[in-house]
Amino acid sequence: MAASYALLLESVTRTYGSGRNAVTALDDVTMGVPRGTFMAIMGPSGSGKSTFLHCAAGLDKPTKGGVTLGDTRLAGLNEEQLTELRRERIGFVFQAYNLLDPLTVADNVGLPFRLGGVPVPVDRVRAELANVGLDDMGDRYPGQLSGGQRQRVAIARALITGPDVIFADEPTGALDSRTGKQVLELLRGVVDRTGQTVVMVTHDPIAASYADSVTFLADGRPAGELAAPTPEKVADRMTRLGDR
C-alpha cells in the first residue's frame, strides 16, 4: 500500500517540551500523498505546517507514529542514512532559495552529487537547467540572477536526483505575483510532464490553487481537504479556520 504513495504519514504526533510546557505541534496526523500529484498544505500560523514538513522530510522525528517515503520507513534509518535519503530522494525548495553564492548556477544544480562525493553528471545539469528555462545561465552566479531565476535554479537542483518528493516551503513568498506565477507554473508543469510529486506549504490561496488538492491543518490536526482548489474556495476555508 505504501508504494502507491510517494509519502505516507501514519498517526504522526510531534510534541515539543514535556509536562506542563508540552506543545503538541502535530496531533495524530495520517495522510498520504499519491505519486505524481501536487499537494498544498495550508493552515493558520502555528497550525503545524513547518513541523509537518520537517517530520515528512526526515529533518525532525515524530514523537509517535511513522513516516514512509516511497517504500522506506524513516524510523528504521540512522542519521547517516537519513542524510543520504535527504540528499538523494528528497528535493527542497525554500522561500529564500538557499543557493550558494560563491558557486556558479551549474555548480549549485550539481551540488547534491558533489555533496554525495560522486562525479557531477554535466549532461544532467544542462538538461535540468533547460527544463527550468535557464539554458544559458550555467556559468553565471546567483547574485547575477533575478529572484524568479534563482528560484528556478533551486528547482533544478531539487529535481536533479529524481527525488521521490519535492518539498516546497513558501516557494513564492519572496517573489512578486508575476514571477511567483511563473514558478508555480513550473512546479505544476514538472508534476504534469514528469510525474514528480510536490508537497508545498503556502499561505497564499493563489499558490495553493495550482495544486491538485489542499490539505488544511488547524491546531496540529488535519482540518479537511479541498480537491480542484480555486483561490476563492481556498481563501474561504482559510477564513473559516480563523486566519485573517
| Strand order from edge to edge, sheet including 213-218 | 90-94, 165-169, 198-201, 38-42, 213-218, 221-227
**Does residue number 55 form part of the binding site for ligand ADP (CB under 6 A)?**
no
Decide: helix, strand or coil at residue 68: strand
47 binds, among ligand ADP, Mg ion, none (CB under 5 to 8 A by kind): ligand ADP
Q: Shortest Cβ distance from residue 73 to Mg ion (Å)?
A: 25
Question: With contacts defined by CB under 6 A, how many residues of the chain interact with ligand ADP?
Answer: 12
Of 42 and 105, which CB lies nearer to Mg ion in the complex structure? 42
**Does residue number 50 form part of the binding site for Mg ion (CB under 5 A)?**
yes
12, 48, 153, 223: which one binds ligand ADP (CB under 6 A) = 48
Of 89 and 221, which CB lies nearer to ligand ADP in the complex structure? 221
Of 92 and 113, which CB lies nearer to ligand ADP in the complex structure? 92
Q: Do residues 66 and 12 make contact, with C-beta atoms less than 8 angstroms apart?
A: yes
Query: Where does this chain touch ligand ADP (CB under 6 A) — which range of 32-40, 48-56, 128-136, 230-238?
Result: 48-56
DSSP code for 142: G
Q: Do residues 216 and 237 make contact, with C-beta atoms less than 8 angstroms apart?
A: yes
**Does residue number 95 form part of the binding site for Mg ion (CB under 5 A)?**
no
- For residue 189, which of 131, 147, 138, 234 has the smallest C-alpha distance? 131
CB atoms within 10 A of CB 120: 16
Q: Which stretches within 33-146 are classed as H helix?
A: 49-56, 79-89, 105-109, 111-116, 122-131
Decide: helix, strand or coil at residue 33: strand
36 binds, among ligand ADP, Mg ion, none (CB under 5 to 8 A by kind): none
Decide: helix, strand or coil at residue 26: strand
Residue 12 exposure: Cα atoms within 13 Å on the Cβ side? 32
Of 127 and 241, which CB lies nearer to ligand ADP in the complex structure? 241
51, 172, 197, 215: which one binds ligand ADP (CB under 6 A) = 51
Query: Where does this chain touch Mg ion (CB under 5 A) — which range of 34-42, 49-57, 176-184, 221-229?
Result: 49-57
**To the nearest 5 percent, what fractions of the chain are helix, strand and coil?**
40, 25, 35
Q: Shortest Cβ distance from residue 60 to Mg ion (Å)?
A: 12
Query: Where does this chain touch Mg ion (CB under 5 A) — which range of 7-15, 45-53, 128-136, 149-157?
Result: 45-53
Query: Where does this chain touch ligand ADP (CB under 6 A) — which range of 42-50, 65-73, 107-115, 173-181?
Result: 42-50
Q: Which residues bind to ligand ADP, rule: CB under 6 A?
A: 16-17, 23, 25, 43, 45-51
Q: Which residues bind to Mg ion, rule: CB under 5 A?
A: 49-50
